[in-house]
Amino acid sequence: MKKTKIYLAFVLAVIFAGCSSDDNSAAAEKPVVINFEVSVSAGNGLRVIADNKSTGASGFEAYWQFTEGGEKVLDGPGPEYYLYDGPGEYQVTLTIEAPAKTYTDTKNITIDGEAGPDPQAKKALKEAATTFSVGMIVQANRLGGKHDEVISKDFNSITSEYEMKMNIMYPSEGNYNFDAADAIVDFAVSRGMDVHGHALIWHNATPSWVENFSGTDAEFEAMVEDYITTTVTRYKGKVRSWDVVNEAIEDGSNNLRNSVFKQKMGDDFIAKCFQFAKNADPDVLLFYNDYNLTFDSGKQNAMFAIVDDLKSQGLIDGVGAQMHISYNGPSSTQIQSVVDGTVSRDLLMHFSELDIRANPDNDLTTALTDSRAIEQQAKYKEVVEIYNAIPQDSKFALTVWGLRDNESWLLDFWGNPDWPLLYDSAFNTKKAHDGFLEGLE
Ligand code: 9MR
């Protein structure tokens, strides 16, 4: 009875919203004509492809809902994919949120085909990788549901994509906010996963009150010490490792970036931050993390100089080499060079932030082609092979920066279509996932 009522309410809501979307008078300035196409995948009778064909909607948020009352997912570039659990009658709804009003369109679809190859039949990454942790990023609002199912199967280490950074955890002076960080840490701990803390100090995630700090330099340093101590202490015993300082080296010059931390605490601000973290939790593993360390040998040298200084003071445990790379570079030799430098210093190697762009030159316009998917698979295999060959004492974790292609930060950052991750938008494993497993064979 209750179900029928909810269903009726939903149908009425759809009819009402549908009517309002026909009335273009309220959006006279910029009329949106909502429209989409749905088709069933040739390779998998349970997989639907939905393509947003609306006009006048650019710049507005659009969302899909593939089942009645189901999760709303943001419409990314290109078609959206959804995998149903079984045959049935379903409703696909597209919603476009314009400032003045919301437009919706709903189509009924019949799913009566058979499932394609079962992606879950493959070996889990975390089981295939027996000698290091396999990491994935999360956002607090995506915990639970299908993300939880997939992440729990393949990964055994969690990194927060953005909610364990200073701008989120310490948004205003004297007021910490650990709500999202707590949810993420609890999620991981309750599933027996490691947590890699990312990142205590990063010039790009510094709250404006810290950027514009009004006190003396000594007060600034005391504030940073309080922040690091409070945060590291809170997660003592739950967080295995922290990126203490992220991306401190300036592109081009390879000098230290002229961040507010350098300005107010001096050139040794990195060592000071590591010391604060170590004082708060002597057992937690401490990392320096940066990007472009593989193909930029000047930056790599600058990074190792920082690391050597920290090592001489007994403050650092490992190096995080972000692996935002492409299917066509850097070379295996370049990747190996950062590994060799780290291993020879007796430090832990973290391949942090792995994603492999399939479309760095923007030559693919609508879809990931089979041939490019195979090249991307080969690169995933190469990276994992290199990681897997690291001597055991220096192995730590390999963290993939995103679950589904449509969730990657790269889409916004480069503004190109791309498919850089292991799962497509319908949570199906890609060839890239096969490549990861092949690298472990
Ligand atoms: O992927 C992250 C994105 O969702 C956040 O908005 C952004 C700012 O917090 O950070 C992105 O992750 C970055 C990571 O923390 C450090 N290396 C570069 C990553 C991509 O910008």
B/e letters for 154-168, b = 16+ CB within 10 Å, e = fewer, are bbbbbbbbebbbbbb
Residue range 220-232, pLDDT digits in tens:
999 999 999 999 9
Residue range 88-109, pLDDT digits in tens:
999 999 999 988 899 999 999 9
**How do the domains of the chain map onto residue ranges?**
36-111, 125-438
Among 139, 141, 161, name the best residue to mutate to test ligand 1's pocket (greatest count of ligand atoms within 8 A of Cβ): 161
Name the least confident of 19-23, 241-245, 256-260. Answer: 19-23
Q: What is the mean pLDDT of residues 182-193?
A: 97
Ligand 1 centroid distance, CA of 292 (Å): 15
**Per-residue pLDDT, 262:** 98
Q: Which of 103-117, 121-135, 381-395 has the highest mean pLDDT?
A: 381-395
- Binned at pLDDT 50, 70 and 90, residue 81 comes out as confident
Ligand 1 centroid distance, CA of 399 (Å): 13
**Per-residue pLDDT, 45:** 83
- What is the maximal distance between C-alpha atoms in the chain? 71
Q: Which atom of ligand 1 is nearest to the CA of 413?
A: 21
How far is 231 from 199, CA to CA, in rounded Å? Answer: 11
How much is the pTM? 0.77
Cβ atoms of 77 and 424 closer than 8 Å: no
Ligand 1 centroid distance, CA of 151 (Å): 19
Which residues make Cβ contacts (< 8 Å) with residue 53, sequence separation at least 6? 35, 36, 37
Is 161 annotated in the active site? no
In three state form, how does the secondary structure of 216-267 look?
CHHHHHHHHHHHHHHHHHHCCCCCCEEEEEECCECCCCCCECCCHHHHHHCC
Residue 342: both structure tokens together: 């780290």
User: Which residues does ligand 1 sit against, CB inside 6 Å?
Assistant: 161-162, 165, 205, 246, 322, 353, 409
Residue range 131-173, pLDDT digits in tens:
999 999 999 999 988 999 999 999 999 999 999 999 999 999 9
pLDDT at residue 18 above 50? no
Kindly report the protein residue whose alpha carbon is nearest to atom 8 of ligand 1.
162
What 213-221 contacts at long range (C-beta under 8 Å, 24+ apart), as own/partner pairs, is 213/260, 213/264, 217/264, 217/265, 220/260, 220/264, 220/265, 221/264, 221/265, 221/272
Catalytic residue among 161, 163, 225, 353: 353
Ligand 1 centroid distance, CA of 409 (Å): 7
Kindly report the protein residue whose alpha carbon is nearest to atom 5 of ligand 1.
162
Is 438 annotated in the active site? no
Catalytic residue among 80, 225, 247, 382: 247
Q: What is the mean pLDDT of residues 166-182?
A: 98
- Binned at pLDDT 50, 70 and 90, residue 117 comes out as low
pLDDT at residue 4 above 50? no
Residue range 250-282, pLDDT digits in tens:
999 999 999 999 999 999 999 999 999 999 999
pLDDT at residue 27 above 80? no
Kindly report the protein residue whose alpha carbon is nearest to atom 21 of ligand 1.
409
Tell me which residue has tokens 């956002």: 139
**Per-residue pLDDT, 13:** 40
**Per-residue pLDDT, 40:** 86
CATH number of the structural domain 36-111: 2.60.40.10
CATH number of the structural domain 125-438: 3.20.20.80
